Amino acid sequence: MITPGLLALAVAIPAAVEGQRVETASGLVEFIGLEFTLAEELIDSLAVRVPDLNPARFPEALVDMGFPRARVDQVAPAADGGTPRIALVTVVERSRAGLLELNDSFGPPGPIPPRWEVAEVSFRDNNPTFLGAVMVRGLGGLEEIGSDPPINLGADEIAEAGEALELLDALVTGFDRGAAVRMLREDGDPASRALSAAVLSGFPQDERAWRSLMEALLDPVANVNSFASQALGSLVALGPIPVDWSPSTDAVRSLVAGANLAAFPLAIQVLTSTEVSPSLASAILGGNAHLILGHLASEASPHRELVRRFLVQLRGQDLGTDVGAWRSWVESL
Whether 118 maps to a domain, the answer reads yes
Whether 67 maps to a domain, the answer reads yes
pLDDT tens readout for residues 285-310: 999 999 999 999 998 899 999 999 99
Whether 274 maps to a domain, the answer reads yes
Q: Are residues 120 and 219 in the same domain?
A: yes
Q: Are residues 284 and 325 in the same domain?
A: yes
Instruction: Tell me how far the alpha carbon of residue 303 is from its chain's centroid.
Output: 12
Residue 39's domain comprises: 4-97
pLDDT of residue 27: 86
Q: Are residues 51 and 122 in the same domain?
A: no
pLDDT of residue 162: 85
Q: Are residues 131 and 201 in the same domain?
A: yes
Assign residue 111 a region: left if phi > 0, alpha if psi is -120 to 50, beta otherwise?
beta
| pLDDT higher than threshold 80 for residue 127 | yes
Instruction: Decide if 32 contacts 88 (C-beta within 8 A).
Output: yes
Q: Averaged over 29-44, what is the pLDDT?
A: 93
Q: Are residues 13 and 87 in the same domain?
A: yes
| pLDDT higher than threshold 60 for residue 35 | yes
- Per-chain mean pLDDT for the chain: 88
Of 97, 131, 151, which residue is a domain's last? 97
Q: Averaged over 194-207, what is the pLDDT?
A: 97
pLDDT tens readout for residues 82-123: 555 789 999 999 999 999 989 888 999 999 999 999 999 999
Of 219, 239, 259, which residue is a domain's last? 239
Name the CA dihedral angle for 262, 177, 234, 158, rounded to a multiple of 10 degrees: 110
| Count of domains for the chain | 3
Q: Are residues 280 and 221 in the same domain?
A: no
Q: How confident is the model at residue 311 (pLDDT cuts 50, 70, 90)?
A: very high
Whether 108 maps to a domain, the answer reads no
Instruction: Decide if 284 contacts 99 (C-beta within 8 A).
Output: no
Whether 21 maps to a domain, the answer reads yes
pLDDT tens readout for residues 207-266: 999 999 999 999 999 999 999 999 999 999 998 999 999 999 999 999 999 999 999 999
Q: Are residues 89 and 118 in the same domain?
A: no
Whether 78 maps to a domain, the answer reads yes
Q: Are residues 217 and 262 in the same domain?
A: no
Residue bearing the bigger pLDDT, 155 or 251: 251
List helix spans (H) across 87-189. Answer: 117-125, 127-138, 142-145, 155-169, 174-186
Q: Are residues 134 and 189 in the same domain?
A: yes
pLDDT of residue 299: 87
Instruction: Tell me how far the alpha carbon of residue 261 is from its chain's centroid.
Output: 6
Q: How confident is the model at residue 16 (pLDDT cuts 50, 70, 90)?
A: low
Q: Are residues 178 and 200 in the same domain?
A: yes
Range with the poorest average pLDDT among 69-83, 124-138, 262-276 = 69-83
Whether 295 maps to a domain, the answer reads yes
d(CA 156, CA 177): 30
This prediction's pTM: 0.89
Q: Are residues 86 and 36 in the same domain?
A: yes
Q: How confident is the model at residue 315 (pLDDT cuts 50, 70, 90)?
A: very high
Report the percentage of the chain scoring pLDDT > 70.
Answer: 86
**Comparing C-alpha atoms, which of 297, 249, 286, 289 is closest to residue 271?**
249
Of 200, 218, 239, which residue is a domain's last? 239
Whether 104 maps to a domain, the answer reads no
Q: Are residues 235 and 121 in the same domain?
A: yes
pLDDT tens readout for residues 157-195: 677 888 999 999 999 999 999 999 999 999 999 999 999
Instruction: Decide if 139 contacts 145 (C-beta within 8 A).
Output: yes
